[in-house]
Amino acid sequence: MRLWRKFAIGSAAGIVLAGGALLALDAADKAFPPPLDKADMISPEVLDADGQLLRAFATPEGRWRLKTGVADVDPQFLRMLVAYEDQRFYDHGGVDIWALGRASLQFVRNGRIVSGASTLSMQVARLIEPRAERSFAAKLLQLARAVQMERRLSKEEILDLYLTHAPYGGNLEGVRAASLAYFGKEPRRLTVAEAALLVALPQLPERRRPDRNLQAAQEARKRVLERAAVVEAVGDGEAERAEAVAIPMRRMRLPALAAHVAEAALRKQAAVLKHQTTLKKPVQQGLEAVARTAAMKLGPKLSLAMVMADAQTGAIVGEVGSADYFDASRSGWIDMTRVNRSPGSTLKPFIYGLAFEQGLVSQETIIEDRPADFFGYRPRNFDMSYQGDVTVRESLQLSLNVPAVKLLDAVGPSRLLVRFRRAEVRPALPPNETPGLAIGLGGVGISLKDLVQLYTALANRGQPARLGDGITGTPGKLDGEPLLEPVAVWNVADILSGVIPPAGAPQRGIAYKTGTSYGYRDAWSVGYDGRYVLGVWVGRPDNSAVPGLTGYGTAAPILFEAFAKSGIATTPLPRPPAGAVRIAQSELPISQRRFALNASGLLVASGREPAPQIVYPPEGAHIDLGAKGGDLSPLMLKLQGGRAPFRWLANGKPLPDLSRRRTQQWQPDGGGYSKLTVIDSAGRAASVGVFID
């Protein structure tokens, strides 16, 4: 009985002591937790719309430390890592007792360290709380920290910390940074040879750097591939084949795309570590490659900028702010996509669009290109010559100045700027000046981004899109009134798609317009297909003149090459909307055969005050408004001449309101033949008969 009493007392005392020890350890654990907050100091990243890395920034201490998780790396790499470093990783609680006992016994027998006993958890503890000395106390601290982490984190979370913080030589930390630097790819698809090298380097990262000590790197990789557990993990024969694969001898730059967008992202959200953009990495790579090549041809001090946007969603898919961000001679740090410059002739398509919309002209209308005086303003063509009588189509394709100013005088500069506001674009007028005719030739300031935003309306049947800033701004279609009616947009696209490409450029099925600002300071080219708009600017950031700089000769070749290198397949331009036709000159109404204005600003065909004339729809036209489907679209009516206000009648029934405008919408109540009539304030009338299909 005495023996059992002693045993019971001793057992109780042991339990009390053990419990006390556990309580003491628990209190110490709470009082001195592992410094897991240090593990959060990682490199900020800027990503494309699909999550691909565009650009990374070093940590404050200059380290490339990209956050890496188990899901970011090849599963075979993880198997090889565990097989080589810590075979019982998923079974122990931070300390591998068997490995620790084996290492201690080997040390006693040999008088030196034969094998280590550090688990992956202990290595993570050392990485997030590094100590210069390699003492017994430091090792005990690692043991304790490993146990603490195992109590707080899952095995996957511990692996995530290792994958992010493992050293790979120089300022590279983490598997992802190393894979990008040595193999030029993300670590999701590593070969056996690549995975073995990344397993081997962290033990002695400086001595085994392949870019500095190739032989040491080869020997270290070989040891990994010869480990029995690794051979079992990779499969029979794979290790031998991997040994024959060459090791990369140089370190590559980490992705460094979209410098201006990336810098802007950090300025806007300094505390955020991952910045999602609307950019597409393949598009961005293509545009930047074109920019580098073009910069070498342009010569010193010249810069260029590009913006490519999805006209349907408003997303900026590619953006180049300068020829070279780090080139001080070109002021590369200035983001020229956001700087207001003179747009040259790039606003002319919108002038013509308004003229088409108001029924002032058709594509084959004759307009004079001769010297003209607009109350003291005397525009001249770029080459100082004049073409005489030309069609409206030819005048826009040749970018003639006098016809454009004549049309702007007819539609009104203020009305043009009001339309631009529908696209949320407000060009900058010269100080203390009201909108004037010089707008048509570049007499305002506008940024490349805003110019591309305007052109999204031309690529999207008149409905503009908001581009946002590519970072935090929300892109999307603007829900207000269209910038131009679909028929007018189609006429503009039909003309611009017929402009001859620059020498050596293939015909890509795009519509495009060029522009050169006064004094050869800015060269522009903006092109679009049925989905994307691309704008190019070339010039000097200091606004100095560059003799010989032109939109067609300088910017247009870059535009076509950038479209080709963007990797985006050309989307056909939109099909003609209902009522969109190119009418031969002989079939035009008398008032549309030649464009001329009288002193009152009315369109005339001769010297007399004109009677009203319906210019759209033309007599006898068959117009597809969807009658077969039962859901009829409205029909746009246009007239010329006459004196406001106007009364419209459809099949003898008056439309609800008098109108002072020369355009009107009519909603048919069914298909078939209809007669449309307009009567002006002087009682003069005009009629046409049409077929609604």
> Which SS3 state, helix, strand or coil, does residue 320 take?
strand
Q: Which residues pair with 623 in a beta bridge?
A: 692
C-alpha distance from residue 158 to each of 36, 162, 165, 448 (Å): 11, 6, 11, 48
Task: Give the pLDDT score at 635.
Answer: 87
Q: What are phi and psi of 55, to 5 degrees?
A: -160, 140
> Which SS3 state, helix, strand or coil, does residue 52 take?
coil
The CA distance from 311 to 537, in Å, is 19
Write down the residue that tokens 């694969």 correspond to: 245
Q: Could you tell me what percent of the chain has a pLDDT over 90?
A: 58
Active site residue 364: no
Active site residue 118: no
472 pLDDT higher than 90: no
Cα 238 versus chain centre, distance: 41
442 pLDDT higher than 90: yes
Write down the pTM of the prediction. Answer: 0.80
| Active-site position among 179, 345, 362, 674 | 345
531 pLDDT higher than 70: yes
The CA distance from 580 to 585, in Å, is 15
CB 641 within 8 Å of CB 589: no
The CA distance from 535 to 238, in Å, is 50
Two tokens, residue 588? 């035009």
Write down the residue that tokens 């919309």 correspond to: 357
Q: How many CA atoms lie within 13 A of 317 on its CB side?
A: 21
13 pLDDT higher than 70: no
| Active-site position among 43, 45, 85, 399 | 85
CB 592 within 8 Å of CB 362: yes
**pLDDT category of residue 488 using cuts at 50, 70 and 90:** very high
**pLDDT category of residue 20 using cuts at 50, 70 and 90:** very low
Tens-place pLDDT, residues 535-552 = 999 999 999 999 999 999
CB 44 within 8 Å of CB 273: yes
H-type alpha helices, 585-629: 590-593
Least confident range of 144-153, 252-261, 293-302, 650-659 = 650-659
Q: Which of 614, 676, 684 is nearest to 643 (CA)?
A: 684
Helices vs. strands in the chain: H and E counts, helices first: 21, 22
| Distance spanning both ends of the chain, measured CA to CA | 112
Q: Over range 164-186, report the average pLDDT.
A: 96
3-state secondary structure 233-254: HHCCCHHHHHHCCCCCCCCCCC
76 pLDDT higher than 60: yes
Crossing angle between the packed helical segments 348-357 and 401-411, to the nearest 10 degrees:
50
Q: Which of 172, 169, 217 is nearest to 196 (CA)?
A: 217
